[in-house]
Chains A and B, each alone.
Chain A
Amino acid sequence: MSAGVRLEGLRKSYGAVEVIRGVDLDIEPQEFVVFVGPSGCGKSTLLRMIAGLEEITGGDLYIGERRMNDTDASRRGIAMVFQSYALYPHMTVRENMGFALKYAGVKKPEIKAQVDEAARILGLDQLMDRRPKDLSGGQRQRVAIGRAIVRHPEVFLFDEPLSNLDAELRVQMRIEIARLHSELKSTIVYVTHDQVEAMTLADKIVVLRDGRIEQVGTPLDLYDDPDNLFVAGFIGSPKMNFLPAELSGGALTLVEHGGQTVPLPPLGRAPQEGERVTLGIRPEHFRKEGSAALEVDVEIVENLGGETYVYARQAGSDVLTIATGGARGLRQGDRMTARFDPSDALLFNREGLRIR
């Protein structure tokens, strides 16, 4: 059982400060949607508006086909998993998961069956009589998820559920959540500022900035085809390189890179002669071959084993990040030629919008 969610012109103000400034979004049933964006952009606020924990100042919220603006949080058919787990510290794992069902009028044997089922799905069988303080972070988060599962919600809401876990556990829980989604087939709205979580979990990513949606799309859409500089810079790690450029004679002159020129990426509508633009190249798009070449001086080399990141610049320019698969021989001070294929590069106009 799962429902879609529709936001129409959703707004939220605290006094005179508007933190959500008109958000329109369609979430399909069974879809896994991830909200990303910089700290303070309103991800949590938006999620809490869907949950019913924050009042909606303007616009409409639909869950399923019903308008939910004024519906109590407990009647929206949602369940939420919090960053801090929010477990009841004085109750055992079993009590934590079954507590709310009692008030929903579920009979005792039925509660036990549902809690046992959730425990089985999450592998909590052995821990049912422990208190939260006797569990590890990952186990606590599992209990919090279990507490959400037993309610059979139409929509699951997650607010940075993994950010209190260490890196290794985070990977493990991420896989677990992905498995859970395919098993439960429920709609999930998930807030994170972790790139990798967003890219790996989402059917659809929503990039937010300052209370507005910058772009909505599948992870690969956003990676390959960002609408603007902000999304291009936000999605992908390490960040995309941005090189200020100017169009002259059908090629791009890189103003900060000693006036080197590179060919223009293939475009539907080329910019005008002399226009100031920004060229975007992802670190991983630099290769040994390619018709465009940049001469740069190596500043720092980061060897991660499989991948090597080179940070290089030309006198006066911003640092470029270059991913080089095999180049282990490079040292600080070396001069290197970074090549790329112009068709991999993206172009943005002065306002930061993509030129396609």
Chain B
Amino acid sequence: MAQTRLGRAENRAGWAFVMPALVLVGIFMIYPILWSLWMSLQTGRGMTTSFGGLANIQRLFADPIFLTALSNTMIFLAIQVPIMIMLALVFAVMLNDPKTKFRGLFRTAIFLPAVTSLVAYSILFKSIFSNDGLATTIVTFFGGPEISWLGEPFWAKVVIILAITWRWTGYNMIFYLAALQNIDRSIYEAARIDGVPARAQFFRITIPMLKPVILFTTIISTIGTLQLFDEVQNITQGGPSNATLTLSQYIFNLTFRFMPSYGYAATVSYVIVVLVAVLSVIQFWIARDRK
């Protein structure tokens, strides 16, 4: 295509405008991504590394701590994400009902955890589930056994799931609420006149109409849970005996806690990338438009 002089000048100006952003993206995103890919092929500790090819990948399968972290993460994912999505949906539908009283108050209360300080709420959860905390008091009051919440692998997982659900349900709910408020109210009025029961209205009208938003929040939550780090680090530090250790935490430990093993840590990072990609494809496939 023949370039006019004006066209070239416009092109130069255009590049000049996007250059700063491109440079920053290049330095802080593209370069680290490529570099970590390269690193994942290196073995050795600290500064003494050598090219190891796929040795790190072999090491993954023989590494019991990695397998524990992977299975913990998958357990969190499989249990927490569905519970949170359902809960967020139910809250959203209830808060969207004009007959609900104090909607504004509840909406704020449910959303608030998403904007509270991580450290503050971690301390709160730690104290609630400490050996003489509120949770124990309540359970024993109703005649339950004294549980060492953060000391038993099973209950430690439960506490973590409770914590992230508490924190992120409101966040997801806001998406649903926004979507629900965009649905023409007369659709539900038509369903009501036509005698469609409330359950069917929820499952056959609301859910299908929210499908794109549900897909979006599911993928966002999946990614969030696969990268789970803050809550675990602050509440249980991965304990007891690695029962709540997550992949992100393991990466952190490999890099900063033990004698640094950058190459192997990069490989574990790519495990998360692959998991996110595979799970997203599966979710898109499940939610596809069937004709």
Binding site for B on A (CB under 8 A): 51-53, 73-75, 78-80, 82-84, 86-90, 99-100, 103-104, 147, 151
Contacts and interface: CB of A to CB of B under 8 A. Distances in A.
Of the four ranges (under 10, 10 to 19, 20 to 34, 35 or more), the interface on chain B belongs to: 10 to 19
A114 to B, nearest CB: 13
A80 B200 contact: no
B190 A80 contact: yes
A192 B187 CA distance: 20
A232 B200 CA distance: 49
Interface stretch (B55-63, B118-126, B191-199, B230-238): B191-199
Contacts of B152: none
Contacts of A52: 193
B211 interface: yes
Given A83-B186, A103-B200, 19 more contacts: A52-B193, A53-B192, A74-B192, A74-B194, A74-B195, A75-B195, A78-B193, A80-B190, A80-B193, A82-B189, A87-B187, A88-B187, A88-B191, A88-B205, A88-B209, A90-B211, A100-B191, A103-B194, A104-B195
Interface in B173-206: 184, 186-187, 189-197, 200, 204-205
B208 interface: yes
A74 B193 contact: yes
Contacts of B187: 86-88
Nearest to A101: B194
B197 A90 contact: no
A86 B191 CA distance: 9
A73 B188 CA distance: 12
7 contacts: A86-B184, A86-B189, A88-B209, A89-B209, A90-B208, A147-B194, A151-B194
Contacts of A86: 184, 186-187, 189-190
Contact of B196 (A83, A87, A100): A100
Given A74-B193, A99-B196, A100-B195, A84 B186 contact: yes
Contacts of B197: 103
Nearest to A100: B194
A160 to B, nearest CB: 12
Nearest to B192: A73
A204 B187 CA distance: 29
A219 B209 CA distance: 43
Nearest to A82: B186
> In the complex, which of the residues B189, B209, B211 has the most CB atoms of chain A within 10 Å of its own CB atom?
B189
A148 B111 CA distance: 40
> In the complex, which of the residues A51, A53, A87 has the most CB atoms of chain B within 10 Å of its own CB atom?
A53
> In the complex, which of the residues B190, B196, B197, B209 has the most CB atoms of chain A within 10 Å of its own CB atom?
B190
Given A78-B193, A90-B211, A99-B194, A84 B184 contact: yes
A52 B194 CA distance: 12
Interface string B67-108: 000000000000000000000000000000000000000000
Interface string B18-49: 00000000000000000000000000000000
A99 B193 CA distance: 12
A333 B209 CA distance: 61
Contacts of A100: 191, 194-196
A242 to B, nearest CB: 38
A74 B191 CA distance: 9
A90 B207 CA distance: 10
Contacts of B195: 74-75, 100, 103-104
Contacts of B196: 99-100, 103
B252 to A, nearest CB: 43
Nearest to B205: A88
A222 B190 CA distance: 33
A51 B192 CA distance: 10
A241 B194 CA distance: 46
Contacts of B209: 88-90
A151 to B, nearest CB: 7
A82 B184 CA distance: 11
A131 to B, nearest CB: 9
A89 B187 CA distance: 9
Contacts of A104: 195
A147 B194 CA distance: 9
Contacts of A84: 184, 186
A4 B176 CA distance: 42
B208 to A, nearest CB: 4
Contacts of B200: 103
A2 to B, nearest CB: 17
Shortest 3 CB-CB distances between A and B: which pairs? A100-B194, A74-B195, A86-B186
Contacts of B194: 74, 79, 99-100, 103, 147, 151
